[in-house]
């Protein structure tokens, strides 16, 4: 069976150029980049090159990039590191209700430790309301953390406007750009961003590596203690092959960003149009234009998204219901709830995430299979057509 992968928001395959740059670092260039001898220096040269490439891609200095085990660690570090280092100034953090669990769970932990967190509502598209953000900033506020783009519904926030507010109010601004890197142009200097998290495996790099950008001069505590790696701020022997691959992946993903985004979004738009034309009661979540080019979060009336996912899987098609981090749990998606989607449509939602190698033939095949599956499931649906979208809170 020819398999079709439409779950690129969850993870992506390694690009062949990325892999070939990584390979020598598993075997011949095996030194510890922190060792002072030639073996160490050879490995360090690979790490330095990756740091340069990433700094160049996001518009910062190489010494403002700190490697981590992924965006989860980078998000944990940004929040806790800033909270602890600035607790003498204030104990209030502002975030949104639709952040990734690595932000929300860290915030919950900080609340247990005596910090106060405001979780901003979002509108029906998933945008943070700027007037609400302004309203909640107080003299106690030390950090605003708002994701650049949402992993479930694809909405891209007005990051520049949020950053401007943070600057005006003298509050630090962190953004989780994990889904946005390679899809949205991000220049941390131009946009005056203080901290930014991102990850390698969403952009055809290896898993288990990411980074936190920390603007020079921003006071941040470490949360991982040990050796003096990463300027003494993040202990642990560097994962050299992964870092080398990450650097190459960032370079490739940001180099052709406009052309790739155009290509992927036009296929994604075709996919949405085809679904809307061929299947009744199909609704797009998030904003129709200000969204990630590869994301189509679709609610199907009168069907269960998980059943669609399993039936597509039997056809070799990979999609996801909520995000990979929360699917597997039977809880409805908090992101879809936050945008006010009625409960039956929350249950009927599937996230399709394309890549630049997705083809029109694949999309046509997926649409054909979806037509059959949705028709079949609707025949046995306990929800009637008249009830679709009207039973909020009942499920
Ligand atoms: N933030 C967002 C928005 C994500 O989509 C993800 C990955 N699902 C993460 C953080 C966590 O990234 P990682 O897998 O590198 O820990």
Report CA(68)–ligand 1 centroid distance (Å).
12
Q: What is the pTM of this model?
A: 0.96
325 catalytic, yes or no? yes
Q: Which atom of ligand 1 is nearest to the CA of 208?
A: 15
Asked if residue 185 lies in contact with residue 149, where contact means CB atoms within 8 angstroms, the answer is no
Asked if residue 262 lies in contact with residue 252, where contact means CB atoms within 8 angstroms, the answer is no
Phi, psi of 103 (to 5 degrees): -90, -50
Q: How many CB atoms lie within 10 A of CB 190?
A: 11
154-189 burial, b if ≥16 CB within 10 A, otherwise e? bbbbebeebbebbeeeebbbbbbbbbbbbbbebebe
- 113 pLDDT more than 90: yes
What residues flank ligand 1, with Cβ below 6 Å?
70-72, 75, 100, 102, 147, 151, 176, 178-179, 199, 210, 323, 325
Report in angstroms the alpha-carbon separations of 289 from 123, 257, 311, 345: 15, 17, 30, 21
Domains of the chain by start residue, with CATH: 4-11+257-394 (3.90.1150.10), 16-255 (3.40.640.10)
Please tell me the distance from the alpha carbon of residue 299 to that of residue 297, in angstroms, as a whole number. 7
Report CA(133)–ligand 1 centroid distance (Å).
24
Centroid of chain to Cα 61:
23
Averaged over 53-78, what is the pLDDT? 98
Q: What is the pLDDT of residues 175-201, one digit of tens each?
A: 999 999 999 999 999 999 999 999 999
Asked if residue 106 lies in contact with residue 115, where contact means CB atoms within 8 angstroms, the answer is no
- 326 pLDDT more than 60: no
- Predicted confidence at residue 329, as pLDDT, reads 58
Helix (H, G, I), strand (E, B) or coil at 356: coil
Report CA(199)–ligand 1 centroid distance (Å).
7
Comparing 195 with 328, the larger pLDDT belongs to 195
Asked if residue 275 lies in contact with residue 282, where contact means CB atoms within 8 angstroms, the answer is yes
Helices of type H across 211-256? 240-255
- Predicted confidence at residue 353, as pLDDT, reads 98
Q: Which residue has the tokens 């600057």?
A: 167
- Predicted confidence at residue 395, as pLDDT, reads 36
- Predicted confidence at residue 394, as pLDDT, reads 42
Q: Which atom of ligand 1 is nearest to the CA of 72?
A: 16
Q: What is the pLDDT of residues 242-281, one digit of tens each?
A: 999 999 999 999 998 999 999 999 999 999 999 999 999 9
Q: What is the pLDDT of residues 139-171, one digit of tens each?
A: 999 999 999 999 999 999 999 999 999 999 999
């Amino acid at each position: 069976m020819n398999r079709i992968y439409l779950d690129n928001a969850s993870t992506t395959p390694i690009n062949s150029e990325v892999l070939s740059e990584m390979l020598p670092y598993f075997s011949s260039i095996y030194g510890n980049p922190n060792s002072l001898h030639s073996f160490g220096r050879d490995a360090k040269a690979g790490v330095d090159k990756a740091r340069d490439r990433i700094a160049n891609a996001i518009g910062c200095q190489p010494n403002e990039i700190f490697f981590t085990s992924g965006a989860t660690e980078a998000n944990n570090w940004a929040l806790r590191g800033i909270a602890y280092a600035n607790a003498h100034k204030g104990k209030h953090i502002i975030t949104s209700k639709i952040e990734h669990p690595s932000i929300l769970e860290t915030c919950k932990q900080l609340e247990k430790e005596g910090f106060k967190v405001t979780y901003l509502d979002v509108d029906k598209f998933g945008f943070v309301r700027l007037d609400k953000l302004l309203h909640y900033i107080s003299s106690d506020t030390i950090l605003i953390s708002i994701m650049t783009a949402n992993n479930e519904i694809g909405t891209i926030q007005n990051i520049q406007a949020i950053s401007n507010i943070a600057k005006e109010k003298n509050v630090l601004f962190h953004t989780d750009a994990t889904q946005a890197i390679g899809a949205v142009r991000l220049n941390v200097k131009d946009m005056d961003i203080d901290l930014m998290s991102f990850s390698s495996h969403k952009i055809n790099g290896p898993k288990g590596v990411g980074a936190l950008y920390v603007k020079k001069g921003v006071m941040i505590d470490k949360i991982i203690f040990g050796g003096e790696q990463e300027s003494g701020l993040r202990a642990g022997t560097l994962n050299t092959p992964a870092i080398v691959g990450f650097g190459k992946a960032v370079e490739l993903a940001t180099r052709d960003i406009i052309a790739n985004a155009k290509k992927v979004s036009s296929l994604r738009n075709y996919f949405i149009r085809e679904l809307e034309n061929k299947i009744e009661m199909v609704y797009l979540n998030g904003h129709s234009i200000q969204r990630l080019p590869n994301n189509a979060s679709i609610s199907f009336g009168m069907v269960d998204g998980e059943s669609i996912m399993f039936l597509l899987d039997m056809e070799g098609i990979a999609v996801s219901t909520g995000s990979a981090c929360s699917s597997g749990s039977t809880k409805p998606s908090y992101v879809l709830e936050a945008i006010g989607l009625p409960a039956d449509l929350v249950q009927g939602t599937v996230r399709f995430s394309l890549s630049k190698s997705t083809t029109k033939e694949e999309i046509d095949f997926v649409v054909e299979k979806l037509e059959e599956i949705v028709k079949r499931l609707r025949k046995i649906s306990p929800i009637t057509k008249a009830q679709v979208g009207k039973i909020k809170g009942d499920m």
